[in-house]
Amino acid sequence: MRIDPKRKIGPNLKKLMIHFMAVDAVPAGGGLQSAVDMIMSPNGMRDSALRSLAQALAAIDAMRAAPDNPYGNDEETIAGEFVKQIEERKAAQALALKK
């Protein structure tokens, strides 16, 4: 998994990467033990960070390549829109749980 060192990791890309890391730490059907296992593994956090960065960059590249991409070519703008949509979805889910 090679990542181009010329690609800058800005604040939105970091947030997107953290969202992917959270899913990696506690996958569907997993629980607290999954997260503990990842953290306690000698290379767990590093490996998860690399996988998550690769996933975030792949999502950005897919959006860039989409013919109907409304966000342009800027990685931070695209990552910011992904983060915004993730946070909106989480807020809606939290609101639905309160009802």
Instruction: Determine the pLDDT at residue 1.
Output: 57
Boundaries of every domain in the chain: 11-98
Return per-residue pLDDT of the chain as tens, 99 residues: 567 778 889 999 999 999 999 999 988 887 888 889 888 998 999 999 999 999 999 999 999 999 999 999 999 999 999 999 999 999 998 888 887
Length of the chain in terms of residues written:
99
d(CA 99, CA 95): 7
Contacts of 78 (CB under 8 A, 6+ apart): 60, 63, 64, 71, 72
Residue with tokens 């730490």: 25
pTM: 0.85
d(CA 69, CA 77): 12
DSSP state of 28: T
